[in-house]
Chain A
Amino acid sequence: MRLAATVGLSAAGLVAVATFWAQDGGDAAELPPPVTAGPAHCPPTRDVSWRPALSSTRGGDLLPLAPRRALLCVYPAPGVDAVSQLSETHVIEGATAREAVAYLNSLPSDTGDEVFCFGAETAMYTTVFDYAEGHASVSIGCGVEYAGGVRPEVNIKKLVRYWFAE
């Protein structure tokens, strides 16, 4: 039996997703990544942390392959309290959304060296992918993380261009 359940938590403006797996046999890396129940939406706030900070990573695809659409949530650099309010939402659909997932799934899970990130605060992005079964929210920080899968480096300019290609 395989059971996958995802719980979304929201506290003090911080949205976190905790994913729990239970399984009897098989390789976790071969499981399709789970999604969170409910329609895709941009979280109303985002904090400024340099996520992700996991010591190990799930292999396989970072995200399920076939989203129906994808949201780009834009948050301006925060003010006093290190939390930023959603300022813009951009949407892509169909093939373009699948291309964005394909790019994230193509990122290596191990870059060899520890990735260095600058410490200036700028506009921040979260991507949310909408599937028939639910949605997957991926914050872009110093790398990306989703459901226990870490990709230490993402080209943020290349990713954002999927929403502004026209």
Chain B
Amino acid sequence: MYDGSGLKVEKKPNFTARVPVGLANAPRERVATAEKILADADVRVPVEISIAEDPFVLLASRLDDNAPWNGGGRWEAWRGTEHRSTCSTGFGVNASGRTWILSAAHCASLGDIAYQGVFGGGSGTGFSQMGPINSDQWAYDLLLIDTPGWYLIFDGSPTTSNTKRVYSWGYWATNELVCQSGMRSGVVCGIRQEYSEDVRVSCNTPDSDGDCDYVLREMIHSFKDGGGIAARSGDSGGPVFTLDGNGVRAKGIVSGGSASGNKMVFQDWHDVIRLFGAYPRTP
């Protein structure tokens, strides 16, 4: 109550109902009942507990997530009031005793701040500060965002709230099919890894600093089987993976592609380990 005379607590109607991803992200041992929390808090005013009539709705999507962040979400790089680029989150990773978000280096630079969601995006979107850019490995197109990462990636359309768990990681392999889950395309599968080769950055699409005509090292060149689009503008930084049971195996980070969209170029997990000592966060 506003006058301090008591406390009203509203519980969700059914514990098995779908819960916001942010709550679903919480480890089970950290979820306590309202009664236990109240008892532990030693509340000394009258408490009224009721059950909500309406179910909870999902609050997290590619366009509106919350920490710890999932892969495959939309993020924007800003330098003060200057928007620099929009990309996709890759994977939550463990490195140096904590978690981070892995994405693509050309999306931002040291000094930029990452925000999740859509600036001025309106209904169904959010805009939340994630954290500063930490490690910018531009020659390998990988970076870390200094913010907590989670073990889920979004799985579905460009606006989906569905997720899959990340169980493992693996190196690239010729002729193996992979999927990617960038925020612009949603999940695209049937992308065949063909070869690893350096690639020159064209001046059609300079990086966030305006730089181009330099070489990215050891990139994996892959093609959508049977034609069609493997990746689009906006998918950069997004997760590349194969299926692993009911979850996924992390394989790399989307970098770019060809004009037709049939070719996707990504950085593989070998360089993630070599540069950052990072592995995907898993359950």
Among B84, B118, B125, B255, the residue within 8 A (CB) of A118 is B255
CA distance A155 to B202 in the complex (A): 8
Q: Which residues of A contact B200 (CB under 8 A)?
A: 113, 116
B233 touches A79 (CB 8 A): no
Q: Are B201 and A121 in contact (CB under 8 A)?
A: no
With a CB–CB cut-off of 8 A, which chain B residues contact A80? 63, 118, 121-122, 124-125, 159
**Could you list 10 A-B pairs, sorted by A, with CB under 8 Å?**
A48-B184, A80-B125, A117-B233, A119-B182, A119-B255, A140-B204, A142-B202, A156-B204, A157-B210, A157-B212
Given contacts A122-B84, A122-B85, contact A117 B260 (CB under 8 A): no
A114 close to chain B: CB less than 8 A: yes
Contact B204 A154 (CB under 8 A): yes
Which of B207, B258, B263 is the most central at the interface, judged by chain A CB atoms within 10 Å of its CB? B258
A137-166 vs B, Cβ < 8 Å mask (1 yes, 0 no) = 000111100000000111111100000000
Whole-angstrom distance between the Cβ of B218 and the nearest chain A Cβ: 14
Query: B257: which of A78, A116, A141, A154 is its contact (CB, 8 Å)?
Result: A116
**Residues 32-83 (chain A) with a chain B CB within 8 angstroms:** 48-53, 76-80, 82
Closest-CB distance, B185 to chain A (whole angstroms): 10
Supplied contacts A80-B118, A118-B207, 20 more A-B pairs, CB within 8 Å: A49-B232, A51-B259, A77-B76, A79-B118, A115-B259, A116-B201, A116-B216, A117-B202, A117-B258, A118-B201, A118-B205, A118-B206, A119-B232, A119-B256, A120-B207, A120-B234, A142-B258, A155-B212, A157-B203, A157-B212
Q: Among the listed A53, A118, A152, which residue makes an inter-chain contact with B236, where contact means beta carbons less than 8 Å apart?
A: A118
Q: CA–CA, A150 to B30, complex, Å? A: 58
Instruction: Give the residue of A53, A77, A119, A157 whose beta carbon is less than 8 angstroms from that of B260.
Output: A53
Alpha-carbon separation in the docked complex, A140 to B259 (Å): 11
Which of these, B76, B104, B236, B259, contacts A143 with CB under 8 Å?
Answer: B259
Q: Are B83 and A76 in contact (CB under 8 A)?
A: yes
* Contact between chains at A116 and B199 (CB < 8 Å): yes
Contact A121 B202 (CB under 8 A): no
Question: For chain A residues 78-102, which have a beta carbon within 8 Å of chain B?
Answer: 78-80, 82
A118 to chain B, nearest CB (A): 4
Q: In the assembly, what is the distance between CA of A156 and CA of B257, in Å?
A: 17
For the side of the interface on A, what is the size category? 20 to 34
Instruction: Closest B residue to A150 by CB, please name it.
Output: B259
Q: Is the CB of B87 within 8 A of A120?
A: yes
Contact check, A82 vs B204: say whether CB atoms are below 8 A apart.
no
User: Cβ of B179: which chain A residues have Cβ within 8 Å of it?
Assistant: none
The smallest beta-carbon distance between A52 and chain B, in angstroms, is 6
Identify B256's interface contact among A52, A53, A82, A118, CB under 8 A: A118
Complex: A120 Cα to B107 Cα, angstroms: 6
A156 touches B203 (CB 8 A): yes
Smallest CB separation, B250 vs chain A (Å): 18
Let me know if A120 and B86 touch, CB within 8 A.
yes
CB <8 Å contact, A142 and B259: yes
Contact partner, B234, options A52, A53, A82, Cβ 8 Å:
A82
